[in-house]
Structure 1
């Protein structure tokens, strides 16, 4: 069993997830407006996810579905 380091590793991981989502969205030529409307989430929520803020699994599932990528590809 491993001990957890300080909580900074969680924040860093969330930032990487947000970066992957933004990169995939841009790769597909999609705007934030297109993604948040299709995902049924608010613009603010998508902005916070892409910035690496706290995110819910259901939100990540919605975004992954809209981007047509496996959730595992986004969370790595």
Structure 2
């Protein structure tokens, strides 16, 4: 079993990585934030928070993955 690091900085890094993946996949599909937030039925603010690594609820990520037509795992990749 792996021990957790002494601080939670690794969580912030992972959230930022996930946000970068969301942004990259969105841009590869030539979609705007407007396109994605409307299709995913979420606020633009929520999508912006995901892309900057501030927000990453599972239900939000599932909506985004569906709109981008990718498996959830693609958003989570390093």
TM-score range relative to shorter protein: over 0.9
Q: Aligned partners of 1:26, 1:55: CA distance in 2, in Å?
A: 19
Deviation per CA, 1:26-47: give whole Å up to 9, x if none. 0000000000000000000000
Q: Aligned partners of 1:3, 1:24: CA distance in 2, in Å?
A: 32
Aligned match of 1:48:
49
Q: How many pairs are equivalent?
A: 76
More helix by share: 1
Task: Give the TM-score taking structure 1 as reference length.
Answer: 0.97
Q: Aligned partners of 2:26, 2:63: CA distance in 1, in Å?
A: 13
Query: Counterpart of 1:41 in 2: which secondary structure?
Result: coil
Task: Give the TM-score taking structure 2 as reference length.
Answer: 0.94
Deviation per CA, 1:2-43: give whole Å up to 9, x if none. 211110000000000000000000000000000000000000
After superposition, where does 1:1-76 map in structure 2 within 5 Å? 1-5=1-5, 6-76=7-77
Gaps of 5+ in 1: none
